[in-house]
Amino acid sequence: MSSCDLCVVRNRAICSSLDSKELEALNSIGRRRTLSAGDSLMWEGEDSVLVANVIEGVLKLSAGTEDGREQIVGVVYPSEFIGRPFGTTNGHGVTALTDARICVFNRRDFDAFAREHPKLEHKLLERTLGELDRTRRWMLLLGRKSASEKVASFLLEMAERLVEPGCHISLTPSVRTLTLPFSRQQIADVLGLTIETVSRQFTRLKDEGVIALPSRREVSILDPEGLAAEAG
């Protein structure tokens, strides 16, 4: 029995395109790995040596300027795919935001396997197309939205995305409390703002009664409609 049979993302990751025999073959070229919050898996501009599936945890994709400014260009959740197949260099760094478990492959091995398994490539294509759409919509936020719209949009996105196994969320009728996998600085790096501006927007939303802040990493959405109205 391959370890994939126990995998919690088995039916949601790109692996779901494979039958059990194929899955075993893929499993034989991959290996499990754990990451602690803060660990980097790859760096921007580095050779593309590995790719991976996320089993548990949340990771960030980031790009930076010479002088140290950073922008988080993507967030990866369980069952999603990491890395650059069929390419020589990584376009961005990959770092774990929470402790994480992933399933890693040597990139060349994965490329060869994928080329022989069109259904896997098809699944990967569908995901990549979806991710591209999502990324482009985020550009609207970065280029055109105000700080308050950015923060409200961010919280709504989190509320939507964190409802996944492997992420922590509890919801009672119309009150959702989320445990953010981001520090304030990281939220700023997602939204293209400074940490101070993010903080001020959080306290403003709290003062308006739209959200509550039980702890540093937790946010309760008290008024989803109000938040949506602020998101622009």
Residues in contact with a copy of itself by CB under 8 A are: 61, 63-67, 69-71, 73-74, 84-87, 91-92, 115, 118, 121-122, 124-126, 128-140, 142-145, 189, 191-192, 232
Q: State the DSSP code for 187.
A: H
Pick from 40, 179, 183, 220 the residue near DNA by CB under 7 A. Answer: 183
Length of the chain: 232
- Vertex 45, ends 55 and 122: CA angle to 5°? 45
Closest CB to a copy of itself among residues 112, 213: 112
Full strand arrangement of the beta sheet holding 81-82: 30-35, 100-106, 50-56, 81-82
The residue range among 42-50, 86-94, 104-112, 209-217 that interacts with DNA, by the rule CB under 7 A, is 209-217
Footprint on residues 120-179 left by DNA (CB under 7 A): 146-148
The residue range among 11-19, 56-64, 110-118, 187-195 that interacts with DNA, by the rule CB under 7 A, is 187-195
Closest CB to a copy of itself among residues 138, 202: 138
The residue range among 107-115, 160-168, 193-201, 223-231 that interacts with DNA, by the rule CB under 7 A, is 193-201
End-to-end CA distance of the chain: 50
Closest CB to DNA among residues 126, 196: 196
Work out what residue 85 binds among a copy of itself, DNA, none; the CB cut-off runs from 5 to 8 Å by kind: a copy of itself
What is the spatial distance between Cα 15 and Cα 19, in angstroms, rounded to a whole number?
9
The residue range among 50-58, 81-89, 166-174, 215-223 that interacts with DNA, by the rule CB under 7 A, is 215-223
Residue 124: partners with Cβ closer than 8 Å, 6 or more residues away: 14, 81, 85, 114
Residue 165: partners with Cβ closer than 8 Å, 6 or more residues away: 8, 9, 78
Judging by beta carbons within 10 Å of its beta carbon (0-12, 13-18, 19+), is residue 174 exposed, middle or buried? exposed
CB of 226 to a copy of itself, least distance (A): 16
Closest CB to a copy of itself among residues 88, 172: 88
Closest CB to DNA among residues 56, 189: 189
| Contact flag: residue 71 with DNA (CB under 7 A) | no
Pick from 20, 34, 128, 203 the residue near DNA by CB under 7 A. Answer: 203
Concatenating the DSSP letter of every residue in 29-76 gives HEEEEEE-TT-EEE-TTSB--EEEEEEES-EEEEEE-TTS-EEEEEEE
What is the spatial distance between Cα 115 and Cα 118, in angstroms, rounded to a whole number?
6
Closest CB to DNA among residues 40, 199: 199
| Contact flag: residue 89 with DNA (CB under 7 A) | no
What is the spatial distance between Cα 103 and Cα 178, in angstroms, rounded to a whole number?
26
